[in-house]
Chains A and B, each alone.
Chain A
């Protein structure tokens, strides 16, 4: 159902809105992000505003398990990222 984030869509198919984009993250020992790589440079996290976890479809062959972090970055931007607890990768979540 959920495909790997950041994959290009074939022309003519349905396109998902707000598809997560893979992102590089430096995380603290506790798991919370301390810096994100955006447009080629590292931006420090000023504050973790919120964190929550979702576990879904654990009864299927493709379970979803994500740890979300709402972050305030040093440059003043607010972003939401999540760690895919199944694959271990990080993605930025956009909201339309």
Chain B
């Protein structure tokens, strides 16, 4: 197993700085609701604080509210770019992915050239500089990628994982702060310190996670790559000339978008509908609607859209409506009742009687199950006269 890790450090900060280059030289804090989710290195001390605490600790920093829609789009672009180099890609978190690169080495001079191809693909697609790491196993690849500056590559040859990890900080381990703190209290500050201990001692001290802890510190990571499945999605968005709050206008826009999407759906069905209302490219409201069964029925989608939007109380005006359909599947037919209109049943019964009288035999039949579980299809159901 040869795994590449592609990693954009401080992803949200990098995306915000790309969107507004004026932020490049300033300490930057990205927050969502009341918590800091990322910060530039100059404001790194704020990373675990609330917004109020962060403002007190770093008053000169610029505070930017997280733009999840933008991060999602950039991550998607990054994953697509990595998939151009290797078809097997597993998303890890926004701005990080693993790729299976076993067998790709033959296409490049060496693994550094392969890493350079990954960096270039991501840079072209997103404008951001990623670091890469290539190793046997996800954890070592991750450690290699996060220990090099953006744009560089860390390649760990097979069999030298333990040597590479020896002096790395225990904070690299994918465990919670309580585990890292406990390691530090035991004076285990590097991964080499943990690997030097007998495996059983670590297991005795840390219980169930002890095995994984010792294995990762020793460069053993058998966790397989779980590549994402290619998934078709259809998106449409509509922007207003001026911001709106009236839900009627939003419903109208939504209907228009659905009409466009249904044309592109071409008789197929969708499993999920993602509704988004945005202002200045930031999500004001969003809802992921999962249909009870896959549908391509415009009336049903419009009904759901109206139900969701009609009574919505928006915190602010929005300028864009976006709808994405995912879980695209094959055409599906739904069996309707032949005689749905019960008012006409008497007329139908009369027509059937007249047909029988005219031809002297039943002309209209219905299907009746006889032995639905039979191994012989012809024994499962029979046709009986409709008026029998």
Contacts and interface: CB of A to CB of B under 8 A. Distances in A.
A20 B379 CA distance: 11
A17 B368 CA distance: 10
B357 interface: no
Given A11-B361, A12-B362, A56 B376 contact: yes
B365 A15 contact: yes
A56 B375 contact: yes
B93 to A, nearest CB: 44
A64 interface: yes
Nearest to A17: B381
Contacts of A95: 377
A2 interface: yes
A2 B376 contact: yes
A18 B377 CA distance: 6
A80 B376 CA distance: 12
A64 B377 CA distance: 13
B367 interface: yes
Contacts of B376: 2, 54, 56, 64, 66
Contacts of B382: 14-17
A40 interface: no
Interface of B: 360-362, 365, 367, 375-385
Nearest to B359: A11
Interface of A: 1-2, 11-12, 14-20, 54, 56, 64, 66, 93-96
A61 B250 CA distance: 72
28 contacts: A1-B379, A2-B376, A11-B361, A11-B362, A12-B361, A12-B362, A12-B385, A14-B382, A14-B383, A14-B384, A15-B365, A16-B382, A16-B383, A17-B367, A17-B378, A17-B382, A17-B383, A18-B378, A20-B378, A54-B375, A54-B376, A56-B375, A56-B376, A64-B376, A66-B376, A93-B378, A94-B377, A95-B377
A56 B380 CA distance: 15
A19 B384 CA distance: 15
Contacts of A14: 382-384
A14 B370 CA distance: 11
A95 to B, nearest CB: 6
A16 B384 CA distance: 9
A14 B369 CA distance: 12
Nearest to B374: A56
Q: Which of A17, A56, A64 has the most CB of B within 10 A?
A: A17
Nearest to B360: A11
